[in-house]
Structure 1
C-alpha cells in the first residue's frame, strides 16, 4: 500500500492496517500524549493517543526519514557503542 493510499483510508481502516501490517519502532511522550511509531513498507505512521484515556487522537503518516529525528534521541547509542 502506498502512502497516498494509506492517507485516504478511514480511521478504522488505518487502525487495522497499522496493527496488521505495521512494525512498532518506538514510543515517545509529548504534551500528555503517547505517540507510537510504526513502519509500514515504505513509510512511517505515528499514532497519537491520549495519555489518560488511551484514545487514538490522530494518525500521521510520512515518508521522509528526517521526521524520525524526534525518536533518535530515545535510542541509547552510547550503550550500543560500549557493548561492542
Structure 2
C-alpha cells in the first residue's frame, strides 16, 4: 500500500492528466464549432448575395450586428441528412 503522500501525489497526477484530456476535448469541440460557424456564415453571405445584397460593407455590417435589434439568424442542422442551414429574418 502506498503511503498517504505517495497516494496524494498519484491522485494529483491522475487528476492533472484528466484535466489535460478534458481541455483537449473542449479545444477540439471549439475548433469544430468555429469551422461550422465559418462555413455557415459563408453560406449565409452567398445566400444574401443571391437575395440581392451586393454591397459588401452593408452585408458585413448586417452579419456583424446579427442579434442586436431586429435582425436574427438561426443556424441549424437537419437531423436526417446532416446538412447545415441558416435562416435570417428582420423585423
What range describes the TM-score normalised by the shorter chain of this pair?
A: under 0.3
Structure with the higher strand share, 1 or 2: 1
Higher RCO (C-alpha 8 Å, min separation 6): 1
Q: Given the two structures, how large is their TM-score scaled by the length of structure 2?
A: 0.24
Higher Cα radius of gyration: 2
